Amino acid sequence: MSAFEFHLDAVDSSTSGRAGRWLTPHGVVDTPAFMPVGTLATVKGLLPAQLREAGAQMVLANTYHLALRPGSKIVAELGGLHRFMDWQGPILTDSGGFQVFSLAQMRKLDDDKVIFKSHIDGSLLELSPERAVEIQEDLGADCIMCLDECPPSGESIEKIKNAVDRTTRWAWRCRDAQKRTDQALFGIVQGGIHPSMRQRSAEALLPIDFPGYAVGGLSVGEAPDLMYQTLDCTVPILPTGKPRYLMGVGRPQDIVEAVSRGIDMFDCVMPTRNGRNATAFTSTGIVRLRNAAHQRDDSPLDAECACTACTRFSRAYLRHLFVAKEMLGPILLSLHNVAFYQKLVRDLRTAILAGRLEEFRSNQLARWNGHS
């Protein structure tokens, strides 16, 4: 796709970490990159200008949820997702594949399609590979995802094999259904925590020659060490010259470990979800602001953060907002957490460019572990 170019600026010599630049129709994404999640065309509680101020370059929205409301045709009529949500940077849309996993009790799945029973009003939503691509073309995101089947953690090897093969067949159908040339369609590698299944999935997707590849089906209940082992056997199979996206991850330490293994892109709801629940990620570890220890604490939330929450308000004030159930509390903490994640990936990129990712990794993990 001529609208997209991915360039590697540096590869760290002591790890597999990569610093790159991904050119999209709506701007450049510096990698490693973290995408705040805006499932319903909004990152909860934050204005687009605040996301930009926090350092976000690209955001994520969701096919399944936007197909239910307001409907992809309405978004298209109103000028597409960028205009609809007033975000002029790059956007990625998930295909709805994660909902195949997360809404397992509300859907029927066969080789042809998934039929969901809406969690809103009980109406039926049919999602085939072709329909998933059609919806995403209506939405107009820069990066769109193939429909896939994400099996639960601990599923039998036979069911994982079936999910892998179905994901491959659906990937071909998605590629054949794509009409727009200004959207990068990513294939998704599945396979649970089984190296043979990950290899089976990746090698089956490579002939399709997608402009980027995602690793799905992790952070669904497996232990962190198993996630890292799965990345160790999966990432080296993926093309060097294309973006690698780890879906739905995650914790700051998981991002550091995954970048060290060659992952370029991430998304997760944790920054805003935890922010709404009075939990902050900081350079020295997690801070739970409801704790009484912060009641008279005049210090900033994170002395190393330049966001509004950290430069203008104290921990005591932020705690007060949550205790008083004022909406400003979740807004400020969501803003801080998004800014923290953006600083983390910038710091990782700087470390890669300087050839010191392993030093950064060990130092940062030690700081977090010392304050867990």
C-beta separation of 174 from 183 below 8 A: no
CA distances from 51 to 143, 300, 336, 337 (A): 19, 21, 10, 11
148 classed as catalytic: no
**pLDDT digit string (tens) for 256-287?**
999 999 999 999 999 999 999 999 999 999 99
User: Are 318 and 366 part of one and the same domain?
Assistant: yes
- How far apart are alpha carbons 40 and 38 in whole angstroms? 6
Q: Which of 31, 106, 89, 96 is nearest to 259 (CA)?
A: 31
- How far apart are alpha carbons 290 and 318 in whole angstroms? 9
User: Are 238 and 296 part of one and the same domain?
Assistant: no
User: Are 183 and 240 part of one and the same domain?
Assistant: yes
- How far apart are alpha carbons 190 and 149 in whole angstroms? 8
Catalytic residue among 94, 138, 264, 302: 94
Residue 154 pLDDT: 82
- What are the tokens at 194? 């089984």
Residues spanned by the domain of 327:
270-372
Q: Which helix (H) or strand (E) holds 171?
A: helix 157-177
User: Are 253 and 325 part of one and the same domain?
Assistant: no
User: Are 258 and 175 part of one and the same domain?
Assistant: yes
Residue 1 pLDDT: 43
User: Are 121 and 246 part of one and the same domain?
Assistant: yes
- For tokens 């990625």, the residue is 92
CB atoms within 10 A of CB 50: 18
User: Are 203 and 289 part of one and the same domain?
Assistant: no
Amino acid at 84: F
User: Are 105 and 199 part of one and the same domain?
Assistant: yes
Q: Which of 227, 213, 236 is nearest to 255 (CA)?
A: 227
User: Are 325 and 177 part of one and the same domain?
Assistant: no
Cα 229 to chain center, whole Å? 20
Q: What residues contact 184, with CB distance under 8 A and at least 6 apart?
A: 1, 3, 4, 24, 142, 143, 144, 211, 212
DSSP tag of 198: H
Q: What residues contact 131, with CB distance under 8 A and at least 6 apart?
A: 113
User: Are 23 and 127 part of one and the same domain?
Assistant: yes
Residue 241 pLDDT: 97
- For tokens 């701007």, the residue is 27
Q: Which helix (H) or strand (E) holds 33?
A: strand 33-36
Cα 23 to chain center, whole Å? 18
Task: Give the chain's residues under pLDDT 70.
Answer: 1-2, 97-98, 100-106, 371-372
CB atoms within 10 A of CB 284: 13
Residue 103 pLDDT: 67
User: Are 301 and 223 part of one and the same domain?
Assistant: no
Task: Indicate the pairing of strand 18-24 with strand 5-11.
Answer: antiparallel
The last residue of one of the domains, among 268, 295, 310, is: 268
The last residue of one of the domains, among 248, 268, 288, is: 268
Residue 371 pLDDT: 59
Average pLDDT of the chain is: 94
86 classed as catalytic: no
The last residue of one of the domains, among 237, 268, 299, is: 268
Q: Is 13 helix (H, G, I), strand (E, B) or coil?
A: coil
Catalytic residue among 12, 264, 267, 302: 267
Number of compact structural domains in the chain? 2
Q: What CATH code is carried by the domain that includes residue 109? A: 3.20.20.105
User: Are 175 and 204 part of one and the same domain?
Assistant: yes
- What are the tokens at 13? 């010599």
Residue 100 pLDDT: 61
pTM of the model: 0.95
Facing residues of 244 across strands? 213
CA distances from 262 to 19, 20, 71, 238, 357 (A): 9, 11, 36, 10, 12
